[in-house]
């Protein structure tokens, strides 16, 4: 039988407050709160003791506690541009936007330290200030080491350094339901987990100056409940024998996934605690929630969960947004907002680059505009992310690219919301290679160092090679017609003049891959058509509807993520086609055999060559 799991939940105390207090040197004993505009979003424990709660208005909070120090969250776009000071904060929501970058940075620091301190544990980031850590393997290792050190004698829980007497068996933990049972192997394992939690909390405190609380239990659900039980700066351990009594009186809102609508529905059935749900007639619950959901609910309210601790994937996109209280038609103001949003995005991209060494390849603009007759929901336009300088494009380049997208969009004014997002990440080495390929085709002038303002991929400069000039003389429209020849155009759904991102353009009518009927079209042409939609999309963002083949081939430089997506799209469409023809020709693009210097792109070049071959 597998050894019992040991799971930690670590949660920073009054997180935003701690970040600001550390930054500004405000002692923990001073009542302090973080405000965003007129409301409080984080309150420290000294202020909580004075009756201050989250969401209180600043004015009301000061009535409760005249000594309260308030720190405004960082804002972008203001005259001083930083929102550094504490005390009365004259922030203007109309011209500034809140920026949470300080807290994100602190979070990255803390999680990085936890990873370094418990490299063999599985760590799942649950939010900006909380993580789950599966320390089962570490516990196994520590207990084995201890057993070996004691020559196979009776195992005693504790740290490797033999200082367990200092903190007692549970390492300073509050143990739910009384002392641990030293004869129980499961309790010994939890005690060892408590030692690890103690060590990790100590590291965070000593090395970064933040206090946190921890829960130690046999699963994520119980560990999370436990970490909140004795805040701040304490840890709580839940032995298995204490689970029934703990759950019996636990308010449903303290149980993950039982807040919100589900909590309200259970309350309507007369259940406000986990125990009440557990004791409710199962048939009633099944009639209301169905058998499957009821089975899940009954496990949770009894403290049972086998949900694994999983390393979260890296974020797929990052967004900076601003909503306006009053709609604006001031284009200069919108341009200014793009700089503010670009600044936030740049900051996040830099951090992400430092952590993951990757770059986003696409910049998307979302907007809500068009006045009363306009769109109620966000519309979007996407284009290539401006080229990277050392680590990130300049704020100005992002603002210019965003403005270019905005100017191509329709029904934008008056505008009530703007958002910029960076997505479609690729390893930095790949985007750097793409930049090199683009510069290669753009000729020597483009290779010279200069400001990072041109979009990636950039439009190739005129070339003197015969094939390139033929391609340039060939009208883009003709090339596009050639590509779509034989495709049942009647099946192309024509949509409005504005299109959601991810769509292509055919003679001014916007199409999406899913709109095309590809029955009877061979697989190679299907691939080319889908690629062409991508080309159109990239070109639409650059102000040209119909690229010629040379330009198209430049856009189709290898982008494995795109290709993967295209393949998935193809597979999806293939399900509804009866294609059998798998022919494909290989050829070398004339440019490849020209006298231009060859780039050392060992991995990229073969793919590039085959793409050119397909486009011939």
- Cβ–Cβ under 8 Å, residues 612 and 587: yes
| Interaction between residue 169 and ligand DCP (CB under 6 A) | no
DSSP class per residue in 582-598:
--------GGGGSSSPP
Where does this chain touch ligand DCP (CB under 6 A) — which range of 6-14, 265-273, 308-316, 346-354? 6-14
Where does this chain touch ligand DCP (CB under 6 A) — which range of 9-17, 131-139, 355-363, 464-472? 9-17
Nearer to ligand DCP, 172 or 232 (CB): 232
Q: How many CA atoms lie within 13 A of 509 on its CB side?
A: 9
From CA 418, how far away is CA 331, in angstroms rounded?
12
| Interaction between residue 42 and ligand DCP (CB under 6 A) | yes
Q: How far are the Cα atoms of 252, 260, 282, 288, 298 from residue 292, in angstroms, in the given order?
A: 19, 19, 12, 11, 10
Where does this chain touch ligand DCP (CB under 6 A) — which range of 7-15, 87-95, 187-195, 602-610? 7-15
Least Cβ distance, residue 545 to ligand DCP (angstroms) = 44
Q: Is 66 exposed, middle or buried (0-12, 13-18, 19+ CB in 10 A)?
A: exposed
Binding mask 114-153 for ligand DCP (x = CB under 6 A): --------------xx------------------------
| Interaction between residue 104 and ligand DCP (CB under 6 A) | no
| Binder of ligand DCP out of 4, 13, 190, 250 (CB under 6 A) | 13
Least Cβ distance, residue 43 to ligand DCP (angstroms) = 7
Sign of CA pseudo-dihedral 191, 194, 196, 199: negative
| Interaction between residue 14 and ligand DCP (CB under 6 A) | yes
Nearer to ligand DCP, 15 or 171 (CB): 15
Angle at 430 between CA 364 and CA 562, to 5 degrees: 50
Where does this chain touch ligand DCP (CB under 6 A) — which range of 8-16, 318-326, 400-408, 471-479? 8-16
Q: Is the peptide bond before 232 cis (omega within 30 degrees of 0)?
A: yes
Where does this chain touch ligand DCP (CB under 6 A) — which range of 14-22, 117-125, 177-185, 329-337? 14-22
Nearer to ligand DCP, 42 or 401 (CB): 42
Q: Is the peptide bond before 566 cis (omega within 30 degrees of 0)?
A: no
Binding mask 392-421 for ligand DCP (x = CB under 6 A): ------------------------------
**Of residues 271, 258, 257, 221, the one with CA closest to residue 282:** 271
- Cβ–Cβ under 8 Å, residues 274 and 221: no
φ, ψ dihedrals at 218, nearest 5°? -90, -5
> Collapsing DSSP states into helix, strand and coil, what is residue 560?
helix
Nearer to ligand DCP, 232 or 502 (CB): 232
| Three-state secondary structure of 99-123 | CCHHHHHHHHHHHHHHHHHCCCCEE
Is beta strand 212-217 parallel, antiparallel or unpaired with respect to 235-237?
parallel
Task: Name 131's bridge partners.
Answer: 10, 125
Least Cβ distance, residue 553 to ligand DCP (angstroms) = 48
Nearer to ligand DCP, 106 or 341 (CB): 106
Least Cβ distance, residue 130 to ligand DCP (angstroms) = 6
Number of residues that bind ligand DCP (CB under 6 A): 12
| Binder of ligand DCP out of 37, 39, 41, 389 (CB under 6 A) | 41
| Binder of ligand DCP out of 4, 16, 334, 353 (CB under 6 A) | 16
How many CB atoms within 10 Å of residue 561?
13
From CA 552, how far away is CA 561, in angstroms rounded?
18
| Interaction between residue 15 and ligand DCP (CB under 6 A) | yes
Nearer to ligand DCP, 14 or 46 (CB): 14
The helix (run of H) or strand (run of E) holding residue 358 is strand 358-368
Nearer to ligand DCP, 129 or 344 (CB): 129
- First-last CA distance in the chain: 62
From CA 57, how far away is CA 384, in angstroms rounded?
42
Least Cβ distance, residue 132 to ligand DCP (angstroms) = 14
**Of residues 559, 246, 249, the one with CA closest to residue 425:** 559
| Interaction between residue 231 and ligand DCP (CB under 6 A) | yes
Nearer to ligand DCP, 231 or 509 (CB): 231
From CA 607, how far away is CA 557, in angstroms rounded?
8
Least Cβ distance, residue 129 to ligand DCP (angstroms) = 5
Least Cβ distance, residue 250 to ligand DCP (angstroms) = 17
> Collapsing DSSP states into helix, strand and coil, what is residue 382?
strand
Nearer to ligand DCP, 16 or 539 (CB): 16
Nearer to ligand DCP, 191 or 214 (CB): 214
**Of residues 1, 41, 38, the one with CA closest to residue 17:** 41
| Interaction between residue 23 and ligand DCP (CB under 6 A) | no
| Interaction between residue 517 and ligand DCP (CB under 6 A) | no
| Interaction between residue 20 and ligand DCP (CB under 6 A) | no
> Collapsing DSSP states into helix, strand and coil, what is residue 506?
strand
Nearer to ligand DCP, 45 or 324 (CB): 45
Nearer to ligand DCP, 186 or 229 (CB): 229
Binding mask 232-251 for ligand DCP (x = CB under 6 A): x-------------------
| Interaction between residue 210 and ligand DCP (CB under 6 A) | no
**Residues engaged in binding ligand DCP (CB under 6 A):** 11-16, 41-42, 128-129, 231-232
């Amino acid at each position: 039988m597998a050894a019992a799991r040991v799971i930690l939940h670590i949660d920073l105390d009054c997180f935003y407050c701690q970040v600001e207090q550390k930054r500004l040197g405000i002692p923990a004993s001073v009542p302090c709160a973080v405000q965003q505009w007129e409301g409080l979003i984080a309150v420290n424990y000294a202020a909580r003791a004075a009756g201050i709660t989250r969401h209180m208005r600043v004015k009301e909070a000061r009535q409760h506690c005249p000594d309260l120090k308030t720190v405004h969250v960082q804002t972008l776009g203001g005259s001083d541009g930083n929102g550094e000071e504490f005390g009365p904060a004259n922030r203007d929501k109309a011209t500034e936007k809140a920026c949470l970058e300080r807290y994100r940075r602190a979070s990255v620091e803390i999680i990085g330290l936890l990873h370094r301190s418990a490299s063999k544990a599985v760590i799942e980031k649950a939010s900006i200030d909380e993580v789950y850590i599966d320390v089962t393997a570490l516990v196994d290792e520590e207990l084995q080491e201890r057993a070996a050190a004691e020559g196979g004698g009776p195992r005693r829980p504790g740290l490797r350094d033999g200082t367990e007497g200092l903190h007692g068996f549970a390492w300073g933990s509050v143990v739910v339901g009384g002392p641990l049972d030293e004869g129980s192997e499961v309790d010994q394992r939890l005690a060892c987990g408590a030692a690890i939690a103690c060590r990790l909390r100590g590291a965070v405190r000593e090395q970064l100056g933040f206090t946190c609380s921890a829960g130690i239990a046999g699963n994520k659900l119980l560990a999370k409940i436990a970490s909140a039980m004795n805040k701040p700066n304490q840890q709580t351990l839940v032995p298995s024998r204490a689970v029934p009594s703990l759950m019996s009186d636990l308010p449903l809102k303290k149980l993950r996934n039982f807040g919100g609508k589900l909590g309200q529905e259970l309350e309507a059935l007369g259940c406000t605690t986990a125990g009440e749900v557990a004791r409710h007639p199962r048939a009633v619950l099944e009639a209301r929630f169905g058998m499957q959901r009821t089975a899940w609910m009954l496990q949770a309210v009894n403290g049972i969960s086998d949900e694994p601790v999983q390393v979260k994937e890296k974020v797929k996109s990052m967004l900076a947004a601003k909503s306006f209280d009053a709609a604006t038609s001031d284009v200069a103001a919108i341009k200014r907002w793009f700089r503010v949003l670009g600044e936030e995005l740049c900051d996040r991209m830099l951090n992400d680059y430092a952590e993951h060494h990757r770059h986003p390849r696409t910049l998307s603009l979302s907007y809500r505009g068009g006045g009363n007759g306009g769109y109620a929901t966000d519309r979007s336009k996407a284009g290539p992310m401006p080229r990277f300088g050392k680590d990130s494009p300049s704020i100005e380049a992002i603002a210019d690219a965003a403005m270019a997208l905005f100017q191509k969009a329709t029904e934008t004014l008056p505008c009530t919301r703007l958002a910029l997002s960076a997505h479609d990440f690729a390893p930095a080495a790949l985007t750097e290679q793409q930049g090199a390929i683009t510069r290669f085709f753009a000729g020597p002038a483009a290779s010279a160092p200069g400001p990072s303002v041109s979009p990636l991929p950039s439009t190739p400069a005129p070339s003197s090679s015969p094939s390139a000039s033929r391609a340039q003389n060939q009208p883009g429209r003709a090339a596009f017609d050639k590509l779509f020849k034989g495709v049942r155009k009647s099946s192309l759904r024509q949509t409005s003049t504005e299109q959601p991102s991810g769509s292509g353009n055919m003679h001014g009518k916007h199409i999406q891959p899913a709109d095309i009927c590809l029955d009877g079209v061979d697989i190679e042409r299907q691939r080319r058509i889908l690629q062409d939609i991508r080309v159109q999309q990239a070109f639409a963002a650059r102000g040209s509807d119909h690229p010629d083949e040379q330009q198209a081939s430049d856009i189709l430089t290898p982008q494995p993520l795109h290709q993967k997506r295209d393949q998935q799209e193809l597979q999806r469409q293939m399900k509804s086609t009866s294609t059998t023809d798998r022919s494909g020709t290989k050829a070398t693009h004339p440019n490849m055999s020209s006298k231009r210097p060859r780039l050392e792109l060992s991995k990229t070049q073969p793919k590039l060559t085959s793409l050119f071959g397909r486009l011939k």
